[in-house]
Protein backbone atom coordinates (compact mmCIF):
# COMPACT_ATOMS: atom_id res chain seq x y z
CA UNK A 1 0.00 0.00 0.00
CA UNK A 2 1.53 3.28 -1.15
CA UNK A 3 0.91 6.52 0.70
CA UNK A 4 -1.71 8.46 -1.27
CA UNK A 5 -2.93 12.02 -0.74
CA UNK A 6 -6.55 11.04 -1.29
CA UNK A 7 -6.43 9.23 2.06
CA UNK A 8 -6.64 12.61 3.81
CA UNK A 9 -9.69 13.43 1.68
CA UNK A 10 -11.33 10.23 2.90
CA UNK A 11 -10.55 11.13 6.51
CA UNK A 12 -12.12 14.57 6.06
CA UNK A 13 -15.21 13.03 4.48
CA UNK A 14 -15.63 10.56 7.35
CA UNK A 15 -15.39 13.31 9.96
CA UNK A 16 -17.46 15.96 8.20
CA UNK A 17 -20.12 13.71 6.72
CA UNK A 18 -20.66 11.46 9.73
CA UNK A 19 -22.72 9.10 7.61
CA UNK A 20 -24.85 11.74 5.86
CA UNK A 21 -23.28 11.03 2.44
CA UNK A 22 -21.66 8.18 0.59
CA UNK A 23 -18.30 8.79 -1.05
CA UNK A 24 -17.92 7.93 -4.74
CA UNK A 25 -14.27 7.55 -5.80
CA UNK A 26 -13.99 7.98 -9.55
CA UNK A 27 -10.91 7.18 -11.60
CA UNK A 28 -9.39 5.14 -14.38
CA UNK A 29 -8.90 1.42 -14.04
CA UNK A 30 -5.85 0.30 -12.05
CA UNK A 31 -5.30 3.72 -10.54
CA UNK A 32 -5.74 2.47 -6.96
CA UNK A 33 -9.42 3.07 -6.10
CA UNK A 34 -10.14 -0.32 -4.56
CA UNK A 35 -6.85 -0.45 -2.69
CA UNK A 36 -7.30 2.93 -1.01
CA UNK A 37 -10.93 2.19 -0.10
CA UNK A 38 -10.06 -1.15 1.48
CA UNK A 39 -7.04 0.26 3.31
CA UNK A 40 -9.27 3.01 4.67
CA UNK A 41 -11.77 0.40 5.85
CA UNK A 42 -9.05 -1.60 7.61
CA UNK A 43 -7.52 1.40 9.38
CA UNK A 44 -10.47 3.63 10.24
CA UNK A 45 -13.32 1.23 11.13
CA UNK A 46 -13.89 -1.68 13.47
CA UNK A 47 -14.98 -3.77 10.49
CA UNK A 48 -15.71 -3.43 6.79
CA UNK A 49 -17.26 -5.38 3.93
CA UNK A 50 -15.99 -5.00 0.37
CA UNK A 51 -18.51 -6.03 -2.28
CA UNK A 52 -16.66 -6.42 -5.59
CA UNK A 53 -19.41 -6.34 -8.18
CA UNK A 54 -17.09 -7.73 -10.86
CA UNK A 55 -17.13 -11.09 -9.03
CA UNK A 56 -20.18 -10.83 -6.72
CA UNK A 57 -22.41 -13.89 -6.58
CA UNK A 58 -26.01 -13.91 -7.78
CA UNK A 59 -27.06 -14.14 -4.13
CA UNK A 60 -25.40 -10.81 -3.42
CA UNK A 61 -26.71 -9.15 -6.57
CA UNK A 62 -30.24 -10.29 -5.83
CA UNK A 63 -30.13 -8.56 -2.45
CA UNK A 64 -30.23 -5.20 -4.23
CA UNK A 65 -33.42 -6.01 -6.11
CA UNK A 66 -35.43 -5.32 -2.97
CA UNK A 67 -33.99 -3.42 -0.01
CA UNK A 68 -37.30 -2.63 1.67
CA UNK A 69 -36.21 -4.77 4.65
CA UNK A 70 -32.78 -3.44 5.60
CA UNK A 71 -32.54 -5.68 8.66
CA UNK A 72 -32.69 -8.70 6.35
CA UNK A 73 -30.33 -7.03 3.86
CA UNK A 74 -27.61 -6.40 6.45
CA UNK A 75 -28.09 -9.82 8.02
CA UNK A 76 -27.48 -11.48 4.66
CA UNK A 77 -24.40 -9.36 3.98
CA UNK A 78 -22.88 -10.35 7.31
CA UNK A 79 -23.61 -14.03 6.67
CA UNK A 80 -22.27 -14.01 3.12
CA UNK A 81 -19.06 -12.16 3.98
CA UNK A 82 -18.67 -13.54 7.50
CA UNK A 83 -18.14 -10.06 8.92
CA UNK A 84 -19.88 -8.52 11.91
CA UNK A 85 -21.11 -5.00 11.21
CA UNK A 86 -21.07 -2.51 14.09
CA UNK A 87 -23.50 0.40 13.97
CA UNK A 88 -21.71 3.69 13.08
CA UNK A 89 -18.36 1.86 13.28
CA UNK A 90 -18.40 -0.19 10.08
CA UNK A 91 -17.85 0.59 6.41
CA UNK A 92 -19.44 -1.04 3.38
CA UNK A 93 -17.54 -0.65 0.08
CA UNK A 94 -19.30 -1.00 -3.27
CA UNK A 95 -16.37 -1.79 -5.58
CA UNK A 96 -16.92 -1.35 -9.34
CA UNK A 97 -20.39 -0.06 -8.54
CA UNK A 98 -21.08 0.72 -12.20
CA UNK A 99 -21.61 -3.02 -12.72
CA UNK A 100 -24.62 -3.00 -10.37
CA UNK A 101 -26.78 0.10 -10.93
CA UNK A 102 -29.31 -1.08 -8.35
CA UNK A 103 -26.58 -0.91 -5.68
CA UNK A 104 -25.88 2.68 -6.60
CA UNK A 105 -29.57 3.50 -6.44
CA UNK A 106 -29.78 1.86 -3.01
CA UNK A 107 -27.30 4.40 -1.60
CA UNK A 108 -30.12 6.88 -0.99
CA UNK A 109 -31.91 4.52 1.39
CA UNK A 110 -28.76 3.10 2.96
CA UNK A 111 -27.43 6.56 3.83
CA UNK A 112 -30.80 7.59 5.22
CA UNK A 113 -30.75 4.46 7.41
CA UNK A 114 -27.47 5.83 8.85
CA UNK A 115 -26.24 2.60 10.39
CA UNK A 116 -22.99 2.38 8.44
CA UNK A 117 -20.71 4.40 6.18
CA UNK A 118 -20.48 3.74 2.42
CA UNK A 119 -17.77 4.18 -0.17
CA UNK A 120 -18.34 3.45 -3.87
CA UNK A 121 -15.64 3.07 -6.48
CA UNK A 122 -16.24 3.32 -10.20
CA UNK A 123 -14.23 2.89 -13.37
CA UNK A 124 -14.76 4.12 -16.89
CA UNK A 125 -17.79 5.82 -18.29
CA UNK A 126 -20.13 2.93 -17.64
CA UNK A 127 -20.59 4.47 -14.21
CA UNK A 128 -22.51 7.19 -16.08
CA UNK A 129 -23.88 5.18 -18.98
CA UNK A 130 -25.15 2.28 -16.90
CA UNK A 131 -27.74 4.30 -15.00
CA UNK A 132 -30.81 3.93 -17.18
CA UNK A 133 -34.04 3.67 -15.21
CA UNK A 134 -32.37 4.18 -11.84
CA UNK A 135 -32.46 7.13 -9.49
CA UNK A 136 -29.01 8.73 -9.11
CA UNK A 137 -28.58 9.36 -5.38
CA UNK A 138 -28.08 12.97 -4.34
CA UNK A 139 -26.40 11.65 -1.22
CA UNK A 140 -23.16 10.95 -3.14
CA UNK A 141 -20.06 13.05 -2.67
CA UNK A 142 -17.66 12.55 -5.60
CA UNK A 143 -13.88 12.65 -5.48
CA UNK A 144 -11.37 11.84 -8.20
CA UNK A 145 -8.25 9.73 -7.87
CA UNK A 146 -5.46 10.09 -10.41
CA UNK A 147 -2.24 8.18 -11.04
CA UNK A 148 0.36 8.77 -8.35
CA UNK A 149 1.71 12.30 -8.65
CA UNK A 150 5.39 13.12 -8.43
CA UNK A 151 5.35 13.64 -4.66
CA UNK A 152 3.58 10.30 -4.14
CA UNK A 153 6.15 8.65 -6.43
CA UNK A 154 8.97 10.13 -4.35
CA UNK A 155 7.31 8.81 -1.18
CA UNK A 156 7.13 5.37 -2.79
CA UNK A 157 10.88 5.32 -3.50
CA UNK A 158 11.64 6.50 0.05
CA UNK A 159 12.33 10.18 -0.64
CA UNK A 160 10.52 12.51 1.77
CA UNK A 161 12.86 15.52 1.52
CA UNK A 162 13.06 16.51 -2.17
CA UNK A 163 9.51 17.75 -2.68
CA UNK A 164 9.46 20.21 0.27
CA UNK A 165 12.82 21.53 -0.95
CA UNK A 166 11.65 22.26 -4.49
CA UNK A 167 8.42 23.78 -3.16
CA UNK A 168 10.41 26.19 -0.97
CA UNK A 169 12.70 27.13 -3.86
CA UNK A 170 9.70 27.78 -6.08
CA UNK A 171 8.04 29.99 -3.47
CA UNK A 172 11.26 31.94 -2.89
CA UNK A 173 12.18 32.06 -6.59
CA UNK A 174 15.59 30.75 -5.55
CA UNK A 175 17.69 28.66 -7.98
CA UNK A 176 18.72 25.22 -6.80
CA UNK A 177 22.00 25.24 -8.70
CA UNK A 178 22.71 23.44 -11.97
CA UNK A 179 24.13 20.32 -10.33
CA UNK A 180 21.11 19.88 -8.04
CA UNK A 181 18.72 20.59 -10.91
CA UNK A 182 20.40 17.94 -13.07
CA UNK A 183 19.92 15.40 -10.27
CA UNK A 184 16.28 16.43 -9.77
CA UNK A 185 15.60 16.27 -13.52
CA UNK A 186 17.10 12.77 -13.62
CA UNK A 187 14.72 11.73 -10.84
CA UNK A 188 11.78 13.33 -12.61
CA UNK A 189 12.61 11.62 -15.90
CA UNK A 190 12.50 8.32 -14.01
CA UNK A 191 8.98 9.23 -12.89
CA UNK A 192 8.03 10.02 -16.50
CA UNK A 193 9.20 6.56 -17.59
CA UNK A 194 7.70 4.50 -14.76
CA UNK A 195 4.59 6.64 -14.41
CA UNK A 196 2.15 6.79 -11.55
CA UNK A 197 0.10 3.62 -11.97
CA UNK A 198 0.59 1.79 -8.63
CA UNK A 199 1.24 -1.59 -10.28
CA UNK A 200 3.99 -0.11 -12.45
CA UNK A 201 5.60 1.63 -9.46
CA UNK A 202 5.43 -1.60 -7.47
CA UNK A 203 7.10 -3.53 -10.31
CA UNK A 204 9.84 -0.91 -10.60
CA UNK A 205 10.59 -1.15 -6.87
CA UNK A 206 10.52 -4.96 -7.00
CA UNK A 207 12.51 -5.64 -10.16
CA UNK A 208 14.37 -2.40 -11.01
CA UNK A 209 13.82 -3.51 -14.61
CA UNK A 210 12.22 -1.25 -17.20
CA UNK A 211 11.25 -4.21 -19.38
CA UNK A 212 9.19 -5.67 -16.54
CA UNK A 213 7.64 -2.24 -15.81
CA UNK A 214 6.78 -1.84 -19.48
CA UNK A 215 5.05 -5.24 -19.48
CA UNK A 216 2.83 -4.11 -16.59
CA UNK A 217 1.91 -0.93 -18.44
CA UNK A 218 1.11 -2.89 -21.61
CA UNK A 219 -1.29 -5.04 -19.59
CA UNK A 220 -3.03 -1.88 -18.35
CA UNK A 221 -3.29 -0.47 -21.89
CA UNK A 222 -4.79 -3.75 -23.12
CA UNK A 223 -7.29 -3.59 -20.26
CA UNK A 224 -8.30 -0.08 -21.31
CA UNK A 225 -8.75 -1.17 -24.90
CA UNK A 226 -10.93 -4.08 -23.81
CA UNK A 227 -13.06 -1.61 -21.87
CA UNK A 228 -13.25 0.69 -24.89
CA UNK A 229 -14.47 -2.18 -27.05
CA UNK A 230 -17.31 -2.84 -24.60
CA UNK A 231 -18.32 0.80 -24.63
CA UNK A 232 -17.88 1.28 -28.38
CA UNK A 233 -17.93 -2.01 -30.35
CA UNK A 234 -17.09 -0.09 -33.56
CA UNK A 235 -13.54 0.33 -32.28
CA UNK A 236 -13.47 4.07 -32.87
CA UNK A 237 -12.57 4.98 -29.28
CA UNK A 238 -9.67 2.51 -29.28
CA UNK A 239 -8.40 4.00 -32.56
CA UNK A 240 -8.62 7.55 -31.21
CA UNK A 241 -6.84 6.45 -28.02
CA UNK A 242 -3.98 4.65 -29.77
CA UNK A 243 -3.36 7.64 -32.04
CA UNK A 244 -2.74 10.15 -29.21
CA UNK A 245 1.09 9.99 -29.36
CA UNK A 246 1.13 10.33 -33.15
CA UNK A 247 -1.26 13.27 -32.99
CA UNK A 248 0.92 15.11 -30.48
CA UNK A 249 4.00 14.24 -32.53
CA UNK A 250 2.46 15.92 -35.58
CA UNK A 251 2.70 19.25 -33.73
CA UNK A 252 -0.69 20.24 -35.11
CA UNK A 253 -2.82 22.85 -33.38
CA UNK A 254 -5.56 20.31 -32.73
CA UNK A 255 -6.35 16.60 -32.78
CA UNK A 256 -7.08 15.80 -36.44
CA UNK A 257 -9.96 13.37 -36.22
CA UNK A 258 -10.22 12.92 -39.99
CA UNK A 259 -6.72 11.44 -40.14
CA UNK A 260 -7.83 8.63 -37.80
CA UNK A 261 -11.51 8.11 -38.65
CA UNK A 262 -12.19 8.41 -42.35
CA UNK A 263 -14.66 11.14 -43.31
CA UNK A 264 -15.19 12.06 -39.65
CA UNK A 265 -14.87 15.54 -38.20
CA UNK A 266 -14.41 16.58 -34.61
CA UNK A 267 -18.00 17.82 -34.42
CA UNK A 268 -19.24 14.33 -35.36
CA UNK A 269 -17.57 12.56 -32.46
CA UNK A 270 -18.12 14.90 -29.52
CA UNK A 271 -19.85 12.09 -27.62
CA UNK A 272 -16.90 9.75 -28.15
CA UNK A 273 -14.49 12.38 -26.87
CA UNK A 274 -16.72 12.95 -23.84
CA UNK A 275 -16.68 9.21 -23.18
CA UNK A 276 -12.90 9.12 -23.40
CA UNK A 277 -12.69 11.99 -20.91
CA UNK A 278 -15.16 10.30 -18.59
CA UNK A 279 -13.03 7.17 -18.63
CA UNK A 280 -10.31 9.25 -16.90
CA UNK A 281 -7.76 7.48 -19.10
CA UNK A 282 -7.55 10.54 -21.34
CA UNK A 283 -7.09 14.26 -20.62
CA UNK A 284 -8.51 16.80 -23.05
CA UNK A 285 -7.25 20.35 -23.49
CA UNK A 286 -9.74 22.60 -25.30
CA UNK A 287 -9.01 25.67 -27.36
CA UNK A 288 -10.00 28.87 -25.58
CA UNK A 289 -11.41 31.26 -28.18
CA UNK A 290 -11.27 34.18 -25.75
CA UNK A 291 -8.44 33.73 -23.20
CA UNK A 292 -9.46 35.18 -19.87
CA UNK A 293 -10.77 34.38 -16.41
CA UNK A 294 -13.99 32.96 -17.87
CA UNK A 295 -12.35 30.71 -20.47
CA UNK A 296 -14.59 27.74 -19.83
CA UNK A 297 -17.48 29.70 -21.35
CA UNK A 298 -15.59 30.30 -24.60
CA UNK A 299 -14.02 26.95 -25.41
CA UNK A 300 -14.35 25.33 -28.81
CA UNK A 301 -15.39 21.70 -28.26
CA UNK A 302 -14.30 20.81 -31.80
CA UNK A 303 -10.72 22.01 -31.25
CA UNK A 304 -8.89 19.93 -28.69
CA UNK A 305 -5.72 18.07 -27.87
CA UNK A 306 -5.67 14.71 -26.11
CA UNK A 307 -3.14 13.48 -23.56
CA UNK A 308 -2.86 10.31 -21.52
CA UNK A 309 -3.71 10.39 -17.82
CA UNK A 310 -0.27 8.92 -17.10
CA UNK A 311 2.97 9.79 -18.89
CA UNK A 312 4.38 6.36 -18.03
CA UNK A 313 1.55 4.76 -20.01
CA UNK A 314 2.22 7.31 -22.76
CA UNK A 315 5.82 6.14 -23.20
CA UNK A 316 4.56 2.58 -23.60
CA UNK A 317 1.65 3.43 -25.90
CA UNK A 318 4.09 5.03 -28.36
CA UNK A 319 5.59 1.61 -29.03
CA UNK A 320 2.66 -0.60 -28.09
CA UNK A 321 2.77 -2.70 -31.25
CA UNK A 322 6.53 -3.22 -31.14
CA UNK A 323 8.89 -5.07 -28.86
CA UNK A 324 10.15 -3.31 -25.75
CA UNK A 325 13.70 -3.33 -27.12
CA UNK A 326 12.55 -0.95 -29.87
CA UNK A 327 11.31 1.63 -27.37
CA UNK A 328 14.04 4.25 -27.59
CA UNK A 329 12.28 6.50 -25.08
CA UNK A 330 13.61 4.70 -22.00
CA UNK A 331 17.25 5.00 -23.02
CA UNK A 332 17.01 8.49 -24.52
CA UNK A 333 14.95 10.08 -21.75
CA UNK A 334 16.93 8.56 -18.90
CA UNK A 335 20.25 9.72 -20.39
CA UNK A 336 18.79 13.17 -21.17
CA UNK A 337 19.32 12.71 -24.92
CA UNK A 338 15.68 12.97 -25.92
CA UNK A 339 15.35 14.30 -29.49
CA UNK A 340 13.56 17.62 -29.81
CA UNK A 341 10.71 16.03 -31.75
CA UNK A 342 9.86 13.95 -28.67
CA UNK A 343 9.48 16.99 -26.46
CA UNK A 344 5.73 16.45 -26.30
CA UNK A 345 6.46 13.86 -23.60
CA UNK A 346 7.06 16.82 -21.31
CA UNK A 347 3.82 18.40 -22.52
CA UNK A 348 1.94 15.25 -21.52
CA UNK A 349 3.66 15.29 -18.11
CA UNK A 350 2.62 18.91 -17.56
CA UNK A 351 -0.98 18.10 -18.57
CA UNK A 352 -0.98 15.22 -16.07
CA UNK A 353 0.37 17.36 -13.22
CA UNK A 354 -1.98 20.29 -13.83
CA UNK A 355 -4.98 17.94 -13.89
CA UNK A 356 -3.90 16.29 -10.62
CA UNK A 357 -3.84 19.77 -9.04
CA UNK A 358 -7.45 20.37 -10.12
CA UNK A 359 -6.84 22.62 -13.13
CA UNK A 360 -8.86 22.39 -16.32
CA UNK A 361 -6.77 22.25 -19.49
CA UNK A 362 -7.01 25.07 -22.03
CA UNK A 363 -4.68 26.14 -24.82
CA UNK A 364 -4.61 28.93 -27.40
CA UNK A 365 -3.29 29.34 -30.94
CA UNK A 366 -3.14 32.46 -33.08
CA UNK A 367 -1.54 33.35 -36.42
CA UNK A 368 2.07 34.40 -36.81
CA UNK A 369 1.82 37.09 -39.46
CA UNK A 370 5.46 36.65 -40.50
CA UNK A 371 5.31 32.90 -41.11
CA UNK A 372 2.80 30.25 -42.10
CA UNK A 373 2.95 28.74 -38.62
CA UNK A 374 0.80 29.60 -35.63
CA UNK A 375 1.89 30.81 -32.24
CA UNK A 376 0.76 28.39 -29.58
CA UNK A 377 0.31 28.72 -25.84
CA UNK A 378 0.45 25.15 -24.54
CA UNK A 379 -1.66 25.75 -21.41
CA UNK A 380 -3.61 28.59 -19.83
CA UNK A 381 -4.27 28.79 -16.09
CA UNK A 382 -6.65 31.10 -14.26
CA UNK A 383 -5.16 32.72 -11.16
CA UNK A 384 -6.51 35.73 -9.20
CA UNK A 385 -8.99 36.53 -11.97
CA UNK A 386 -6.11 36.76 -14.46
CA UNK A 387 -4.49 34.24 -16.79
CA UNK A 388 -1.09 32.60 -16.71
CA UNK A 389 0.09 31.45 -20.14
CA UNK A 390 2.47 28.49 -20.23
CA UNK A 391 4.93 27.43 -22.90
CA UNK A 392 6.51 23.98 -22.49
CA UNK A 393 10.00 23.30 -23.86
CA UNK A 394 12.05 20.14 -23.62
CA UNK A 395 15.35 22.01 -23.58
CA UNK A 396 16.50 25.65 -23.36
CA UNK A 397 14.83 28.99 -22.80
CA UNK A 398 16.59 31.32 -25.22
CA UNK A 399 13.40 32.00 -27.14
CA UNK A 400 9.75 32.11 -26.15
CA UNK A 401 8.19 33.77 -29.15
CA UNK A 402 4.67 32.51 -28.43
CA UNK A 403 4.70 33.93 -24.89
CA UNK A 404 6.01 37.25 -26.18
CA UNK A 405 3.40 37.51 -28.94
CA UNK A 406 0.66 36.50 -26.53
CA UNK A 407 1.76 39.21 -24.11
CA UNK A 408 1.49 41.87 -26.81
CA UNK A 409 -2.03 40.67 -27.57
CA UNK A 410 -3.40 40.20 -24.04
CA UNK A 411 -1.04 42.01 -21.64
CA UNK A 412 -3.85 43.47 -19.49
CA UNK A 413 -5.21 39.97 -18.78
CA UNK A 414 -1.93 38.34 -17.78
CA UNK A 415 -0.73 37.71 -14.22
CA UNK A 416 2.51 35.77 -14.84
CA UNK A 417 4.06 34.19 -17.93
CA UNK A 418 5.66 30.77 -17.39
CA UNK A 419 8.18 28.85 -19.42
CA UNK A 420 8.35 25.23 -18.25
CA UNK A 421 11.57 23.54 -19.27
CA UNK A 422 14.43 21.33 -18.02
CA UNK A 423 16.85 23.92 -16.62
CA UNK A 424 17.09 25.64 -13.24
CA UNK A 425 14.62 28.27 -12.08
CA UNK A 426 15.33 31.79 -13.39
CA UNK A 427 13.68 34.87 -14.81
CA UNK A 428 14.11 35.96 -18.42
CA UNK A 429 12.78 39.50 -18.60
CA UNK A 430 9.21 39.11 -17.28
CA UNK A 431 9.00 35.41 -18.08
CA UNK A 432 9.36 33.08 -15.12
CA UNK A 433 11.30 29.98 -16.21
CA UNK A 434 10.79 26.93 -14.02
CA UNK A 435 11.91 23.31 -14.20
CA UNK A 436 9.14 20.90 -15.14
CA UNK A 437 9.07 19.23 -11.72
CA UNK A 438 7.81 22.51 -10.20
CA UNK A 439 4.62 22.47 -12.32
CA UNK A 440 2.37 21.41 -9.40
CA UNK A 441 3.13 24.69 -7.59
CA UNK A 442 1.80 27.02 -10.30
Best CA proximity match to 19, nearest among 119, 142, 95, 104: 119
- Residue 162's pLDDT band (cuts 50, 70, 90): very high
Start-to-end C-alpha separation, the chain: 29
Check pLDDT > 80 for residue 132: no
Specify whether the CB–CB gap between 145 and 32 falls below 8 A. Answer: yes
194-240 pLDDT, tens per residue? 999 999 999 999 999 999 999 999 999 999 999 898 888 999 999 99
pLDDT of residue 324: 92
Return mean pLDDT, the chain. Answer: 92
Neighbours of 8 (CB within 10 A): 9
- Residue 120's pLDDT band (cuts 50, 70, 90): very high
Specify whether the CB–CB gap between 417 and 389 falls below 8 A. Answer: yes
Check pLDDT > 50 for residue 69: yes
Check pLDDT > 80 for residue 20: yes
Poorest-pLDDT segment among 44-48, 339-343, 408-412, 417-421: 339-343
| Rounded percentage of the chain residues whose pLDDT exceeds 70 | 96
| Rounded percentage of the chain residues whose pLDDT exceeds 90 | 76
> Rounded CA gap, 378 and 361, in Å?
9
- Structural domains of the chain sorted by starting position, each given as residue range(s) with its CATH number in brackets: 6-144 (3.40.50.300), 154-441 (no CATH)
286-344 pLDDT, tens per residue? 999 999 988 888 889 999 999 999 999 999 999 998 999 899 999 999 888 888 777 89
pTM of the model: 0.93
356-415 pLDDT, tens per residue? 999 999 999 999 888 778 899 999 999 999 999 999 998 766 789 999 999 999 999 999
pLDDT of residue 127: 45
Specify whether the CB–CB gap between 205 and 156 falls below 8 A. Answer: yes
> Rounded CA gap, 126 and 271, in Å?
14
Phi/psi class of residue 211: alpha, beta or left (left: φ > 0; alpha: ψ in -120 to 50)?
Answer: alpha
Best CA proximity match to 106, nearest among 146, 83, 136: 136
Phi/psi class of residue 38: alpha, beta or left (left: φ > 0; alpha: ψ in -120 to 50)?
Answer: alpha
Amino acid sequence: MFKRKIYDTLLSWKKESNGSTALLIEGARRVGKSTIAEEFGKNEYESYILIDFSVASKTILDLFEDISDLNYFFLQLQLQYRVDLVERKSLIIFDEVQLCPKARQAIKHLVKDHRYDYIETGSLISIRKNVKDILIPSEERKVSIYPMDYEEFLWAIGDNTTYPLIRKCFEDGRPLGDQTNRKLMRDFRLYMLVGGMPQAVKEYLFSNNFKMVDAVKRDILHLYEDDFSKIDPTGRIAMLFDAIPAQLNSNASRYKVSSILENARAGDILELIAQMRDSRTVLAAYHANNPGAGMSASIDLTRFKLFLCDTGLFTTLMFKNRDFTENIIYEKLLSDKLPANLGYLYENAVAQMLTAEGDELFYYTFPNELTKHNYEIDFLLVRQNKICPIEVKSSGYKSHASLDAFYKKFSSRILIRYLIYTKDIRKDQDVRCIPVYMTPFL
